[in-house]
Each structure stands twice: as C-alpha cells, then as structure tokens.
C-alpha cells in the first residue's frame, strides 16, 4: 500500500498563482498539482543537478506505467480543518443536480467530502447552507465553531484569505514613459494556508522531495518570487488518512489530469462529469526562461471518472515550444479517491 503524506504550507508572504485573465491581476486561491510539480522540478535541479532531475525524477514519470509518486493540488486549510474541491457531479440518486445555493461553493470540508464519498449526504446536510450568504465553503453544523476565528467581523462569513489587486508602474526603456498595470495577490490569515498530499510509490524519494519543499518555502512559490512572494513554512500532518471508499466503481481526482487517448473510453460513462482546464505558462529552466509552454487541456480537480483497477490515469505531457533546446514536461496524473455511486 503506498504511503500518503499530507503537507501544510503556512505562507509567510502573499502568493500569486496565475489565473486566466487579461494580465497579472487574476490570482488563484489554490495551487494546481502541475504548478507544484514544476516548482519541485526546479528545486530538484538546484539541489541535485539537471542530470539527476532527468534520470531520477522525470524518467520514471515519463514511462507512464510506474510514477514514483502522485501529487495532489494545494487546497485551503483552516486550523485542523482541511478543505476539498467540490466534485463536478453529485452521483447521488436523490440529488441529480446540486441545490442552487451550493453551485457557488468552491470547497467542502473533510466531513462533507467524506459523507459524499460514502454516499451518505442527507437533506439536512444540504440545509446547513441555509444560514450562509454566498458561501465559499460548505461545512456541517457541528463544524462551524472550528471556523469562528476565521469569520469576517462585518459579514460573519468565513474568510481564510484576503485578495488584493495592487497597482504597479513600469517605465519604457527608450522613452521612460510610465505605464500602470495591476497585480493580484492573496494573503492567507494566520492559522490558514494550503495543504497538499503526496502518495509515494517509491518511498526512497520522500526525503528528497521534502528537501525540495523546504527549499521552495525559502525561495518562493508562484509569481513575483524575486519580490519575496510565495514564501512558506512546511509542516507534515502526521496520522491523517484521506477519506476514500475501497473498491469503488468511481473516483474523484484531487489534481488536474490528462488521460491519454486509450484511457478516455474506459473513464467515462453517463454518470461521470468533468470540466476542462487550459494549462499554459512559461518555461522555468535557464535555457528556455523566455519561452511559453504549449497549451494543454486537462480535466479539472473534482472531476468524477469511472475507475479502472490497476490503471494509473494520466501522464506527463511534453509541452516543449519549438525553439526550446530541451523537453518541457507538464504533470498530468490523476490523484484518485474512490467514491461510491
């Protein structure tokens, strides 16, 4: 049985994770697994060299059969409470569609998520949303006290972070003319941050991966690292098991994934649901740092798929732009949790 380890990232500075938009004014409040994986690759190269990155980390992933670990996206936590992405479809016989108020919710508490995995959500659970105005989070009635320290004093709503759009000025190199632009950032409240999970199939890599995480904490994650953004401290959450239904027919993924052509027909039936997510960005290596990666479309976190025993869903996708002197890999493996249906 692979070891699954949970990590919490406690941010010491604002974070910017690029989101689709006109410029840099949009930022995410979570970190996709492919972004985390690219950052880990950069840290691996700093610590162990380019040859080690290719031979000891990327090559086992690229063969598509035996990835040494699976990585989830980074989702919010508040104190001891973890949040999970809202599944795309309900899979409940009595709730073919989510109630209208639930459609705006982005994250479910671990208790809500566990009940959904086990097919045990009740009408009274859905009614627990009745007292909230435009909720981002769905928590059960008995969990609300845990979140009291994170409630906004004016609105009473749960707020784990504050988003800001700050003005910046750039000067033209030739004319010195000034131009204003805007930059989005998110600052987590004390006691809140992001968590992610790593399921190790090769436990020998754990110490190296954790060294990379600590290095990222000191160098920054996301955009504007040179200005001190994205710094964090990492802690290991011991003794916590992710909720999952063993032997289930369906699964929900906690990471964006990119199945290959042969997997598609086995992953989908009439009860499955998914959203497509375009993934873009810049090459991170010194040799190609001014080049854009090719765009690839992936299934968003929370997509519900048919489970195929013994099959690792997803792959590494080569998004190398033509002028780049080396391959550029985008992480696209699913992080599956079994769900009854």
Task: Identify the pLDDT of residue 151.
Answer: 85
Confidence at 74, pLDDT banded by 50, 70, 90: very high
Question: 116: closest CA among 132, 94, 100?
Answer: 94
**Residue 16 to residue 19: CA distance in whole angstroms:** 9
Task: Identify the pLDDT of residue 188.
Answer: 93
* DSSP type of residue 96: S
More confident of the two residues 213 and 162: 213
Residue with tokens 């995480």: 213
Instruction: Identify the weakest region by mean pLDDT among 53-57, 103-107, 254-258, 303-307.
Output: 103-107
Residue 124 has pLDDT above 90, yes or no: no
CA distances from 252 to 60, 125, 272, 304, 341 (A): 24, 20, 10, 5, 11
Residue 33 has pLDDT above 90, yes or no: yes
* DSSP type of residue 204: G
Contact 184, 25 (CB under 8 A): yes
R_g (Cα) of the chain, nearest Å: 20
Instruction: Enter the tokens of residue 279.
Output: 């993934």
**Residue 299 to residue 307: CA distance in whole angstroms:** 15
Percent of the chain with pLDDT over 90: 44
Question: 74: closest CA among 10, 137, 26?
Answer: 10
Q: pTM of the prediction? A: 0.89
Mean pLDDT, residues 183-209 taken together: 92
Task: Identify the pLDDT of residue 53.
Answer: 93
Residue 93 has pLDDT above 60, yes or no: no
**Residue 148 to residue 15: CA distance in whole angstroms:** 24
Contact 168, 181 (CB under 8 A): yes
């Amino acid at each position: 049985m692979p070891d699954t380890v949970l990590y919490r990232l406690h941010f010491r500075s604002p974070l910017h994770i690029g989101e689709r938009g006109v410029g840099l004014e949009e930022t995410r409040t979570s970190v996709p697994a492919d972004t985390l994986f690219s950052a880990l690759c950069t840290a691996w190269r700093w610590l162990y060299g380019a040859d080690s990155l290719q031979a000891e980390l990327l090559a086992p992933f690229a063969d598509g059969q035996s990835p040494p670990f699976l990585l989830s996206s980074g989702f919010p936590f508040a104190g001891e409470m973890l949040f999970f992405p809202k599944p795309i479809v309900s899979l409940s016989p009595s709730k073919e569609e989510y109630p209208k108020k639930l459609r705006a919710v982005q994250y479910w508490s671990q208790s809500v998520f566990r009940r959904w995995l086990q097919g045990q959500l009740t009408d009274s659970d859905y009614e627990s949303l009745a007292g909230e105005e435009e909720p981002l989070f769905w928590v059960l009635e008995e969990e609300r006290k845990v979140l009291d320290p994170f409630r906004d004093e004016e609105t009473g709503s749960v707020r784990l972070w504050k988003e800001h759009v700050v003005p910046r000025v750039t000067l033209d190199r030739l004319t010195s003319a000034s131009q204003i632009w805007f930059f989005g950032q998110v600052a987590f409240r004390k006691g809140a941050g992001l968590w992610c999970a790593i399921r190790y199939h090769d436990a020998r890599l754990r110490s190296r991966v954790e060294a990379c995480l600590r290095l990222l904490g000191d160098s920054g994650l996301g955009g504007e690292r040179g200005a001190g953004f994205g710094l964090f401290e990492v802690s290991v959450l011991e003794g916590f098991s992710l909720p999952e239904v063993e032997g289930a027919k369906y699964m929900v993924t906690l990471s964006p994934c990119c199945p290959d052509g042969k997997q598609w027909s086995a992953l989908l039936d009439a009860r499955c649901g998914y959203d497509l997510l375009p993934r873009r960005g810049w090459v991170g290596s010194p040799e190609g740092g001014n080049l854009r990666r090719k765009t690839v479309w992936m299934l968003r976190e929370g997509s519900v798929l048919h489970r195929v025993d013994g099959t690792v869903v997803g792959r590494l996708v080569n998004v190398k732009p033509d002028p780049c002197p080396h391959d550029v890999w985008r992480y696209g493996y699913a992080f599956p949790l079994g769900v009854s249906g």
